[in-house]
Amino acid sequence: MGVFFSACGYRFSGSGTLPSGVQTVFIEVLKNRTVETGYENTVTNDLIYEFTRNGRVVEKSRDNTEAILTGVIESEHVRTISRQGQLAPLERRVQIAISLKLTDRDHRVIWSRSGISDSEAFDVGANNQITEQNKRHALEILSKRLAETAYNRLTDNF
């Protein structure tokens, strides 16, 4: 008995091509408008990883590329989402928003998106050090998800 598969036009998110037939990209370190020191490097590295994981060529120099991806980490918001009593937070949520722009060598905008955002919950620890560690871990998770979301939006061809 044979199995028949029909192509119905569906495909995995992010499996499309880069806009304007771009094959090579240089990813500039994002600008950081948050208080999270060094977070721009984390997000930039996760973007580079996401591109290379999907078989894209990420150049190490602007000179050898067809397009340049730039961006800004626009905001960070932290809010309490659960409490034990009025003054004892148990869990918080951190939200990050980024904006990205892909330009060609002549500085013409090929693609841009603002307001790419996501959030992640983290536990409030017994002291500030534990809480900060938990928040940092949540920010690392967010960075990976934001990079994946950004890549998928960049390669959606519809």
Residue 7 in this model has a pLDDT that exceeds 90: no
Question: In total, how many domains does the chain have?
Answer: 1
pTM for this structure? Answer: 0.87
Question: Computed from CA positions of residues 22, 72, 74, 79, in that sequence, does the dihedral angle turn out positive or negative?
Answer: positive
Q: Does 144 fall in a domain?
A: yes
In a domain, 14, yes or no: no
Q: What average pLDDT does the chain have? A: 90
Any domain includes 4? no
pLDDT at 157: 64
Q: What is the pLDDT of residues 103-138, one digit of tens each?
A: 999 999 999 999 999 999 999 999 999 999 999 999
Q: Is residue 3 part of a domain?
A: no
Q: What long-range pairs does 118-121 form, CB within 8 A, spacing at least 24?
A: 118/142, 118/145, 118/146, 118/149, 119/93, 119/94, 119/95, 120/93, 120/94, 120/145, 121/81, 121/91, 121/92, 121/93
The parent domain of residue 61 ranges over 19-155
pLDDT at 15: 55
CATH number, position 25: 3.30.160.150
pLDDT, one tens digit per residue, over 77-108 is 999 999 988 888 999 999 999 999 999 999 99
Answer whether residue 3 shows pLDDT above 80: no
pLDDT score for 150: 97
**Residues 7-22, mean pLDDT to the nearest whole number:** 64
With bands split at pLDDT 50, 70 and 90, how would you rate the model's confidence at 23?
A: very high
The pLDDT score that the predictor gives to residue 9 is 42
DSSP state of 54: T
